[in-house]
Structure formats: structure tokens, C-alpha cells
Structure 1
Amino acid sequence: MPQLALYLLGSPRIESDGASVDIDTRKAVALIAYLVVTQQHHGRDTLANLLWPEYDQSHARGALRRTLSTLNKALAGNCLDIERETVGVAPQAKLWVDVNDFNHYLAECRTHGHQANEVCTACLEPLTRAISLYRDDFLAGFSLRDSPNFDDWQFLQTDILRRELASALERLVHCHCALGEFDPAITYAHRWLTIDRLHEPTYRQLMLLYAWHGQRTAALHQYRECVQVLDQELGVAPLEATAQLYQAIKENHVPSLPAPLQKPALAKAEVQSLSTMAPSEDFSLSMASSTTKAPVANTEYPLVGRSAEWSTLFNAYSSINGGGQILILEGEAGIGKTRLAEEFLNHAHERGAVVLTTRCYEGETHLAYGPVIALLRSAIAQKDNIHRLDELPLAWQSEVSRLLPELAMQHPALPAPPPLDGPGTQSRFFEGLSQALLALCNRSDSPSGVIFFDDVHWADSASLELLSYIVRRLREQPICLTFTWRGKQIVRDARLHQVLGEAQRSGKATIVTLMRLDQASVRKLVHTVLANDTKLTASLVDRLYSETEGLPFFLLEYLNAMAKGQLATGTVDWSLPGGVRDLLQSRLSGVSDIGWQLLNTAAVIGRSFDYDTLREASGRSEEEAVTALEALIDQGLVEEVQKSTSEYTLTYDFSHEKLRTLVYEETSLARRRLLHRRIADVLASHARGQREVDALAGQIAHHYQLAGNEPLAAEYFR
């Protein structure tokens, strides 16, 4: 019997005793790949639905029958076990598959008496063999556009195999490094980096390897490459750990080499010491954005000025009895919503509750069910959780498989969900997801589970519809839904207001509105953080409050900058810390062109500005100005204030002085001069009578002076 070889890592190809085997149809290639990788017998209906989902059952089975005939003929009838209702690989088939060998070599490493993420020198040979088999990604360049179920399965297998490859490369890097073999370690590290060019731990590992190998220039070049890639792809700077390592190498303060290891075997202690080198928690190719474990709160700084809010959350959660509860933390960006939520989630987790978390992202509002998929994926990745889904009725599991197609791949007997355009199908879909969430987060021996959506104002419309469904049935579901959102600053989707409105009407909602810290709280936080700083004075604390206006994120950024020596506190004008600038720029990213014109004009006027001066100086029509101003208010960039002595004057403020400062700094010098002149002209035209002229003279002179018109400025200064 000839030996058949299937190469699926890379572009698929089949060989028989070294000679290429041609298969006429892509469906036949997909079918044999699915059978040999799953290593199971599958029902004909399952295979037909996998490859011909657009056909009815009879036509799909007919297409499968013809494809099986073609495939069996190409393989000389020696590979397939074709029964009346099932199809699989024949037990006696002489068949070699690169994917199966790849997995076999990795499995061999798990028999060496150490954890899966650890490595010993006995792992070197099987890991090296596994890596040599990985020519390219699984079925690279191959797809079935008319078979989304197969494409989903292929995508899942590709992701799993890439993660296994990354793990193998990581272990090879650390093992060769510990053995003092830097050349192969560097080679494998570069291949590791090709899997994820944005993975900073790999850059740091390469920097260390080059430095230990005496190639300081190459190590520094690796850092510059990291900076360039992160800036181009994400618009961010490297992490502090990466920058610190760069500085250490630059100053010839290279971290010590790991202790050398002896071949061919490692003692248990040596295995443990080697495993600690691998930043396994730092390295992840996971697509999930959340975890079933409670996120660890950033306790570097204490939670100050939130005792009342914390008590409200604590009491609301403690009072859950049978029905559900909704906790809503609202407030502007940087106010500390997520920080307080993390403290609460840690509390729930410590009490034994299951905590499921996810986050919504501004750039993913068009991805249907994005945060829900991330939450479910990360939840079932945890130990025992997949079995909780298995306990659900098949009908509910089938509904969940709409979002997690890997469930259908893992359970071939799972019935395909019906199309969503039928009567009642949408409700059944939502009920299936609700039942899955309940199964994952509720246990009989623990408090009510918590489901946390961070930044829910960025949730997509489909996810909001699901949340609305769950909220309406909360009395029957003993879970605690927790959201953070920016309140009325975000009005992108009416469904969000519908969800939160339904939550309030249910009588089960607790809304916690976070305000800026008062001066006493700022003083307490600063004294706690800088307790041993001899330069700390009352005037410095007051200056910090003035600069940050009590916004916690800003305050922490200023304290970080001070700790790093990046803030010259003795100067009149303090520079904006990088984190503050980044947050403000992100808030400005959604401003329209007309909105920007108004912001530029307002920033030149000052922290406070009135509507008439703004509109006339900006040159916009009344309708344009009103519409743009309303949008700026909704975005939380400006606020309407009632402090004018005249009921006919509409007055506004920037929500934060640093926001005005940033807008002013990003306005070109030429435009500043133009706007200063326009503002001066408008103010001068508004002055009626000597009393008004005298009252506005200082402002008019100031703007004419900054516009470069010294003669006119001098007239008003007199």
C-alpha cells in the first residue's frame, strides 16, 4: 500500500510515495483536511452542511457523494472509511499528516515531568522538529468563500496552531539562551516576532539576546525598530519596561545572564528556574479582550475620595436576593470609573463570585456582538467552563454557536441554528446567549455572578439589543450587570439610553455618578503618594489641584511625571504629561470640521466664551454654530453655564483648562493671529458707549496685541 503524505501547514498538497497527487476540486481538499485533522468519523449531514451550507439537504448530500467519489479515486481507495451515514479516515490507512506530527512533537514535551509552559533540554529535539514542519499557516492561501462554516473552522485551527508555534518558539528561545547558545536563540526569536510584530516582550527578549551576545548596536537597533512599528501601527510609545531596558543597554548596564544549564537533562529546580524566564503571562496571541478572573486593580495609588460611591456599590451588591441587579458607574473620561469598578470586581471575586469582564472599544462599534464574543470566548477558555456550556440543552448551545463557530466544530452533532429571519428566531437567539451567560457566571455555592461591560458607550448596536433583552428579564436572572459609561457625553446610539432607561424602570438599577475630587481629596492622595518627598509643599499640592482640577487620571499622570523627573515643578508653565495629552487627543478625535473651527476660536478667546463672539469670530452661520456647539456639549468638550448677568448672553466653558490649552497649542500661529484679530474686531464692535469700551478695553487690547496690531492695542491700553 503506498504511503500518502498530506502537507497542510502552508499551501495544501498531497503526495503518494513522493509523487504529487492532483485533486480536482477545492471541496475535496477541504474535506480530506477536515477528516484527517479532526481524526473522527462525521455524519454525512454534518459534512454536507459544513461544505455546502447554501444547498438543501438532498442536494448537499448529493454534492458530498460526488466529492467523496472524486477524493476516493484520487487517493486510490486506500484512505477513506465510507459508511452509509458516516465518513472518516480508514484505521488501516498509511497516512502521514504534517499537522498531526507537529502536534505529536509538542505533546511529547508534555511527558517530561514539567508544566506545559516549562521547558527542559530534552524538549529541544521535539520542539525543533515541530518548528521545522511549520512551513506556513494552516492551509495558507486556501479558502472556501461559499462555505463560511469551513472558513470558520480553518480560522480556528490556524489560530490554535499559531499559538502553539509561538509557544514552541518562546520555549526554544529561552532554552537556547539558558544554554548559552545565542545564535539559535536569536534566530528563533526573530521567527517568534514574525507571528506578532506588535508583541513587545519579544522585542525585549531580542534586545537582551543581542546585548548578552556582545552585539550592543543590534540591541539598540531592535528597540528603535520596536518604536517605529508601534508608532506606525498603533500610534503609541513602547511600554516603560521596554524603554528602561533600552536605557540600561545604552548605559552598558545589561541585566545578568541566566545561570547556564547542563545538557542533556535538567533537574527539577533547573526546570523551574528556566520556566521563570519565560514571560508566559506577558505573551498571548488570544483574541479575547476579557477574562473570567476579576481584573487586578491598579493599587499603585490608593482609592481616595470615593468612600460614598464605594458604599453604594457594596450595599447594592450585598442586597441582591434572588433577582438581578444593575450597577452603572457614570462620569467623564479620566474620572476613575474603571478604577472603582475594578475595586468592586475584586471584592466580588474575593467573596467567591464568578466575574466575567469585557471592554467595548471606540474603533469597533461596527463589529456586531464584538464585546459579547470576546466575553464568551475568554470565559469558556477557563478550566471547567466549557463543561458548563455542555450542560445546556442543545438548542441553546446551537444558538451560542452563531457567535462561537468553534463550538460546532468541537461538537459535530450540534444542530445548525435556523436562519435569523424566521419568526421568533431573534428572541430564541438572545435567550440562548442569556442562558449561556447564566451557566457561566452562576454557581450554587457562590454569590451572584458579575458581568462587567467597560465603556459600554462604545458597544455596537447588536450588543446593546442583547443587553436590553437581558435587562428586561433581570428579575428572573440572579446576576449583577455592571457598566461604565460617560453619561450624556456620548449619544451615539439611542439603544444605549434605552438599555439604561429600562434598567432604571426595572427598579433594580443603581447609578453612581463620579465627580471630580475636591481639594481635600487631592491633598490626601498627593500626601499619601509623596509622603517621603522632601520637596512636597502646600503650594505644590495647590498647584497640582489647579492644574488637574481634581480629575483623577490627570492627577496620577502628573504624579507619575514628577516621580520620573519629567515635570519641572519650579517653572511657571507645566508641560502636559504624555498620558494627559493622549487622553485629550482621543476625546478630540471625533470632532467635526466645523466643530474644530469653533474650538480653535474658543481656545483663542479663553476658558470662558460667549456665543455671539464665538459665532462672529469663527465666521460660521447661526445654524452651523448652534449644531456644532450642541455636538461639542454632547461630547463633553464644552459646557453651557449660567453665570452671565445678562439673560441674552449665552456663556460656555471648556470642560477642562488643559483641553483648551491643547487645542490652542495645536492651532497654527498664523491662524491664532487671524482669530485674535477677528475676536478683537468683534469685541470692539459690541462695545456701546464709553462704559462698555472701558470694561472691554483690556480684552480688546490683549487680542489686538497678539494679532500683531500694536497701534490699535496701544489705543485700548490707554
Structure 2
Amino acid sequence: MIPTRSPQPRLSIYLLGEARLVRDDLPWRGKLYDKVIALLAYLVVESNRSHPREHLAALLWPALPAEAARTNLRQTLYYLRQLFGAESDELLHASREAVRFSYSPRHCWIDVKTLTEQAPTCHDCPTTPASPPCERCLARIKARADAYHGEFLAGLSLSDAPDFDVWLDAQRHNLRGHAFSCAERLRNAYEAKGRLGPALAYAQRCVQLEPWNEAGHREHMRLLACKGQHGTAETLYDVYRDTLARDLNVEPEHLTRALFETIHRRELEPESTPEASIEAFDGDDPAVRRQATIMCCHIDLPPGAAQHNTEQLAKARSLCAAVLRRHAGHLTLGQGGYIYAYMGYPQASEHAAELAAQTAVELHDRFSDRYRFRAGIHTGIILAGFDPSLPDIVGDVSTVAWRLCSRMQKSGVAVSDAARRLLHDRFRLDALRPLAAGAEHIQEPGGPMPAFRLAGMAQTVRPGDVLARRATLVGRKAELRRLNDLWTRACTGSPQFLVVRGEAGTGKTRLARALLDVVDPAACVVHHMRCYPEHRHTPLYPVIALFETAMGFSMGDTVHQQRQKLDHYLALHRGAIADQARPIIMDMLSIAPYDAPVLPPRQRKLQTLDMLLTLLDSRAARQAVLLIIEDAHWLDVTSGDLLERLIGRQDGAAVLTLVTARPEFRPPWLRADSVLDLAPCPARRTQR
């Protein structure tokens, strides 16, 4: 690695991100006024020339008289000299007529200068354009890219200095372009060297810097697929497609759609190169490092069993993934049928390890009789990169989970010592032979990693069961009366919509259950959906889960059996529109025939939303429908579009849509008269 500052200067100036000064590794403790920051940034960026005092005064204080503006400039320059300390005479040259900043790497380090510096000529780099740069030049480019910690002067805006704001916007665009160029070069260079971990990190940074650069999104998806993370690549495509539709009302380009189809059909296989082993990515941003628990699962036929029933095995793996989706924050698929479930990501959870162990026990009980079910659970620090949809970009924690899973010769669940320490004696664990240190740098200090076999729950009551018990409703009589009134109106054929909004623990869910206590179950239909943070990027996840439950999908169902259950459900409940609904719902549930026609994404989305409303209306024509959607602050974009249609309905339908959410749920289509904000009950109302 090439040192970026030699010798180490005492003063460091950070203008990318939040402006700050550091002297002798200690931050400046005084206040940095906006005009001081603005003058410093202008002089640093424009350090190639001197600036007349009249120009600087008019730039920063245009509304003041000339003499008052010059006085403010003198005071600001004095403050800058105080900031620079002993280096002020070398850095700031001021005469009666002009001011100039003289940049010298010996006296200070500035992130903007590092980002924009010109690379020296290198005689060691390959001469062919497609060849990656040498390691020395690669280190220089990385140092430049690492200097960009955020937008230039993030959060700064001078409303009383419009000319400065114009200059500031131009510089932000220019410096972001420098950062994008560095990230793009690093992405291409690392991929050419077969180092997919860092290449993927910089692909993510390209997308972060230029979110509307569709070529960058394609490279991101392609690298994910090359790393074996096809499911994550498909999820990112869905998110980008929905963002385009919502913000620009356009579809992704043909090349992007074609790449998605290629990834979806698994025609883009993971690459295997000599240097493609999992490696550390030396990022320094603590914001992208976080603790998570990863469970690696694998389902296979037991040794000696007939190997011809591949469809049954695939279905078992699919059902395993369906169970994991209820609990895990994120799922990715690995080679050889391995499934990676991320607990505590993207939503942090202090109970992630317990949730992983509880889920593993459930899966083992379901599958171990007919299949060989293996799982490995490990907790560690992941480097999530710059995109919340991609966890563990380095892969160290995932690799430990995979090694734990792989070491189980028969059905069973292996737990690392790091995860064991977080289980708090809630599970029975038996010691296993320690996990030997492999070629990867994943062992704990001191040698092999201790490992344990998960033998089951240590208590009869599972964590979370207490939360399911129904508490007595206290102090919400007025709110319950409003719900009852809405339900009465809905039963007369007038559609009603209400969002019950409040902080966690204010009784949103209990209020919804109180309404269930008073409705006549024989005279209505109740549909209950719940949103999860891990599925906020999964289109229509709560709707799909509702359909799978209503149609009785169970473990071991083949695709043919699922289609039969769908046909039976539609014939029983939606006979008049069964033929029109069948292909649309099959597509939504991912059980459509392989040769079924595929519509453009936006047309397919609109057709699905229209059919869901039609199905709801056909049921409401016979019985009133109570539709409860919990935790809508975690709602995916497509389900949000469905809610928008529900609130905007004008036709008659005996439907009450009751939504619970936290205060941050404030979509632009939500009307004030459709919100019930819950405050904590006063103590006098909760006394017994």
C-alpha cells in the first residue's frame, strides 16, 4: 500500500462529508461557522490563483455594504489563521488586495486534494487498455476513492449567498464525478484480477454515487450473479424497477431486463478464478460494519436414497426458504443448494442469534425425518458495503456458517462459540470437535474455533410466545368506538380505510385485536397480513404469504399440487373470475408454467394489482371483509401501491382496511382524515 501522506502532517482538513479539522489526531473543539467553512472550502478548491478581497466579500456577504462585507472577511480570515495554527503562514497568504491558499502536502492533508490529484506516470503498468493497473497504482486509486466520505460540505447551504451556492452545487457534481470514476476503475481492476469481493464493493459504490446510471446497476447485478448471489441480484432489479416506475414512470432499459432474465434463469454462473477466494476488504468506514447472525442451511436426500426425485428435493428447499423468510432479514442462495439467512440485517436485532437457533430447531423438526437437514449458525461483524440489499460483502461470517453446516455429516445444526454466547442458556448444546483453522482467515485468535451441536430448546416456552398472549385493553374506549363505527359503515357497502399510527408499545396491535373481539366471525371474512423489515424489498410479500396460507400450501407440495390447490380455491371462492385470475396469481406465486407468456414488468405489476382488487371485491360482494395489515412501516413498494389504490376507491365495497404502523409511515397519498395517531395512555387511564 502506498502511503498517501508522507511525512505525516499535523493538520488534516476534511471537506467531503461533514466539514471538520483534525490537528495531531485530535478534532478541533471550537465551533466551525458556516461562513468560515465556506471561505475555507472556496480557497482550498480554487487554490490555483489569488482572489481579490472584493470578490470574496461579495461572494459570501452580497447583501451587506462593501465595507461591512470586507470587515466580515477580515474577521473570517483571522479565524482561519487560528484554525491553521503554526501552519497559517505557510497555508494562507493574504495581502491588502488579495487572498490565496497555498496547498502543501508537507503542512496539511486535504481530502479534496487527495481525491482530485493527478496520477503520476507509471512505467510498471501494462500498456494494453484492458489490463488492470499495477498494485502501486491500484493503491493510489484506492486512496483517492477512500477520501470521498460523502457529499462536498454535506448539509451546508448559504441562503444569503446565492452565487456561492451555485458554485457549491457545481463542485459537488464535479467531485462526485471524480469519486465515481475512481470507483469504476477499481471495480473493473479488481474484477480483472479475479477479486470479486472488492469489485462488488466498488460496484455498490458506483450505484450509490450515480443512482440513475443504469449501466452501473447492470454491473452490480452481474457481479452479484458471478459471486453466486442470484437472489440478491433479482431483488435489486425489482427495487430499481419500482424506483424508476415511481419516480420517472419509465421501465428499465432492454439490456437491463435481458440481464435480469439471464440471471433469473441461472444462465450466468458464478465465476471461479485463482484469486476469487473470499478475501478481506479493507474498508475504513465504521458505518458499514455491523454484527449479524448468519445461518447456512442445506437440504439433501439421505445417503443411499434414490436420487431421481429432484423435483421433490427442490420443493423441500423452496419450503425451507419460505420458512426462513418469516424470520430472516435477508436470504441469498449459494452454489450447491445452500441457503444463507441473515438475522439482524438489515434491521438490527439483539435477539438475532436466538431467532436463528429457534428457526433451526423448527426446520430440523420439519425435515430431518425425510431429508438430511444441516445448518450452521455463526455471529460476527459483517461489512455490508454501501447498499442495504447486500450483506456480508467480504463473506468471512458467511464462510464460517458454511463450514459449520458442511461439517455435519448427518442431519443436525452446528453453532459457533460466538453465537453460543448470545443464546443465554435457552437451548441445549453439545460440544463438538473444534472447527479446524482453514486456509481462510476466519478462525478465532488462539487457534481452532469451538463448535457445538444444537440439541433443542432448553425450555418449553419459546421466546416470543409471551408476546402472543392477549392483554386486556385499557384506556382506548374512544379509539375502539371509532373502529366500531368504521366497521358498521363498511358492512353497509361503504369502503373504509384507517391507519393506526404510534410508537412501539402504544397498543396498535391490541386495538386491532379488540375490533376482532366484537365483529361477528360468521358474518365477515378476516384477512390478516403482516410486514417484516427483511421483506421491505420483496414485492407483495404480505399478500403472497396470505394466499399461501389461504390455499393450504404445505411442505412437500409439488408445483403441480400447488396449482391444483389454487384451482380449488378459485373455484370455491372466486368461480366467476377463476379463469382470468389463475394465470396472474400463478405468476405472483411463482408457480406459473415455464412457457407461460411474460409481460413487461410494469404491465405485469398493474395487471396483478387490478386482479387483487377484483378478487377482494368479489369476496366483499358476499361477506364484509376486514383486512388488517400490521407494521406497514416495513411495507414493500408494490404493496404500498396496492394500499394507495385501496384508500382512493370510490366504488362501493364492504371492506374495512385497518393498517397499523409507526409514526414514520407517512406516504404522500395518506390523507389526514384516514389516520388515528395513538399517544401513550395517561397514567390515570391505566390505573386499575
Superposition TM-score tier, normalisation by shorter sequence: 0.3 to 0.5
- Greater Rg over alpha carbons, structure: 1
Tell me the TM-score normalised to structure 2 length.
Answer: 0.36
More helix by share: 1
Tell me the TM-score normalised to structure 1 length.
Answer: 0.34
More strand by share: 2
